């Protein structure tokens, strides 16, 4: 029996993979998920937050409500809401989300599509060379700063 009153509020469920856990294949979570270990394959967290911890190493296609990156991820990311790349984090691949936050010191290389529609619901857009490599700070079409200003003004 818990000493604290419940007030009918249940805490959010959270799942986690430890530092020594390696997963190869399809990972499906119906609750918030934090990855401290390694994952290779696909990750589906459609209605919840996926967090890649600083020790996390992921090579996967990901579908989640929100994605928070502290570690390293390579693949195709689809977020209904926002992707947040923290200082020291590394992302390489294709990103589709409604919002994007890149902290100073975060590394991103690949293509970025910021729209409110899921990637699978529209035809593939032509590659217009809008890939960005923020580590070297050499944009093909627009700088990270211009991308950030565009997101903030939207």
Predicted local confidence at residue 131, as pLDDT: 45
Predicted local confidence at residue 96, as pLDDT: 95
Is 138's pLDDT higher than 80? no
**pTM for the full predicted model:** 0.69
Predicted local confidence at residue 54, as pLDDT: 96
Mean pLDDT across 25-50 = 94
pLDDT grade for 115, boundaries at 50, 70 and 90: confident
* 3 state SS of 139: strand
Q: Where are the domains of the chain?
A: 16-120+128-153
Pairing of strands 22-28, 138-139: unpaired
Name the residue among 82, 89, 84 with its Cα closest to residue 107. 89
What Cα–Cα distance (Å) separates residue 101 from each residue in 37, 58, 78?
23, 19, 14
Range with the poorest average pLDDT among 5-19, 59-73, 104-118: 5-19
Angle among Cα 149, 152, 154 to the nearest 5 degrees reads: 110
Is 146's pLDDT higher than 50? yes
Is 109's pLDDT higher than 80? yes
Rounded CA gap, 50 and 62, in Å? Answer: 9
Long-range own/partner contacts, residues 92-98 (CB < 8 A, 24 or more apart): 97/67
Rounded CA gap, 138 and 129, in Å? Answer: 12
**Whether the Cβ atoms of residue 76 and residue 92 lie closer than 8 Å to each other:** no
2-26 residue pLDDT tens: 444 444 444 456 888 889 888 999 9
């Amino acid at each position: 029996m818990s000493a604290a009153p419940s007030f009918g509020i249940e805490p959010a469920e959270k799942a986690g993979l430890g530092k020594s856990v390696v997963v190869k294949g399809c990972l499906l979570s119906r609750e918030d998920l934090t990855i401290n270990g390694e994952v290779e394959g696909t990750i589906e967290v459609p209605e919840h937050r996926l967090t890649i911890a600083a020790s996390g190493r992921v090579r996967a296609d990901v579908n989640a409500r929100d994605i928070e990156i502290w570690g390293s991820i390579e693949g195709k990311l689809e977020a209904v809401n926002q992707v947040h790349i923290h200082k020291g984090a590394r992302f390489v691949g294709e990103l589709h989300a409604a919002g994007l936050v890149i902290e100073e010191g975060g590394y991103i290389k690949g293509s970025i599509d910021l729209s409110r529609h899921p990637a699978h619901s529209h035809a593939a857009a032509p590659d217009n060379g809008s890939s960005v490599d923020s580590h070297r700070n050499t944009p093909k079409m627009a700088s990270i700063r211009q991308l950030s200003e565009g997101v903030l003004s939207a």
